[in-house]
Structure 1
Amino acid sequence: MDGGCFCGQVRYRLLEKPMFVNCCHCSDCQCQTGGAFAINAIIETANVEILDGTPVPQAMPTSSGRPHIVWRCETCQTALWSDYGAREVMIFVRVQTLDKRHTIKPDAHIFIRSKVPWVTIPDDQPAFEIFYDLPTQWSAESLARREALNLVR
């Protein structure tokens, strides 16, 4: 699945399906996107191929104080993906930058404690006040892919 920035300078391709898709309603995502939430497709960095352009990193402040690097198009400043916690092996691709974004549905809604009141979460989608326990939400295949990255928990 291909995606890119608003101006078209940066284009990328997902080589595999995402491991998991979060719809994040935290106040940081609301402020950074200028919207009610951010939809993030979690995928291995090695499974994202840059086709054109060179995204540039931008360190962002967070309410938690943890690292958050947003990769943007240098020209139009579209946020393409994030690296949380300086884990260079896994990124969170902004689903809204995918060409076929309408085909991606969130697997879970997180930080609904700060959800704006006019957003309604479908009954068939798990929702969590803060976050979820990965083994109870992620598929066995996705957990195995994440485990292969040797991330420190």
Structure 2
Amino acid sequence: MTTLTGHCTCGEVRFDLHEKPLFRAICHCSICQQFNDAPYGDIVVVPSRAVDLNSEDGVSYQSLKAPPILQRGRCATCGAPSIERLNMPLFPRLTLVPVSRITDPAALPDPSFHIFYECRQSDAADDLPKRSGYLRSQMTFASVLIKALFRRR
């Protein structure tokens, strides 16, 4: 795979992805809307071991919901969403990257699903699965993640 690159708005935070993303998802939850300053979060999920970040110090992390398994990172200089670190028990460490931060988004997989669809700001005009509610959304994310991890083995 060709390395995918990305950066924040000002370029202070830069990263390389050395593995193909496990999957891509669209999240409509209010936290993703707030964090991304957008109607939804369009993210790719990558094993953290495959992510080279130029400077961990250049990212300011915060957890916006308990339990704090997802640390959302913004560039400490420009404040743009940059990367998110997901540490779920019994799973490998994962990094979530906003698609808007990837230099060549055409090289990314298509989205697999929508979650927290009940929070959407407008209807999505696609045929992707659309999950509403906390449990159904979390289960969809987890099941796609597990399948993707097993495909890699």
State the TM-score, normalizing by the size of structure 1: 0.78
Q: Over residues 112-145 of structure 1, what are the superposed CA-to-partner deviations in whole Å (9 max), with x where a residue is unaligned? A: 01111x332402x22111311644x4584x2327
Paired with 2:88 and 2:149, the residues of 1 have a C-alpha distance of 20
Q: Would the alpha carbon gap of residues 128 and 77 (structure 1) be closer, same or farther in structure 2, given more than 3 Å must change?
A: same
- Partner of 1:46, secondary structure, is helix
Q: Which residue of 2 aligns with 1:2?
A: 5
Give the aligned partner of residue 95 of structure 2.
91
The answer on 1:111 being equivalent to 2:116 is yes
Say whether residues 1:143 and 2:149 are aligned partners.
yes
User: Match for 1:31 among 26, 31, 34?
Assistant: 34
How many aligned residue pairs are there? 140
Higher helix residue share: 2
Q: Which runs of 5+ in 2 are unaligned?
A: none
Is the contact between residue 57 and residue 69 of structure 1 (CA under 8 Å) also seen in structure 2? no
* Structure 1 segments (4+ residues) deviating >3 Å: 52-55, 84-88, 137-140
- TM-score normalised according to structure 2 size: 0.78
Q: Give matches, 1:55-66, under 5 Å.
A: 55-62=58-65, 65-66=66-67
**CA distance in structure 2 between the aligned counterparts of 1:7 and 1:122, rounded to whole angstroms:** 32
Sequence identity percentage: 25
Structure 1: give runs of 5+ residues left out of the alignment: 149-153
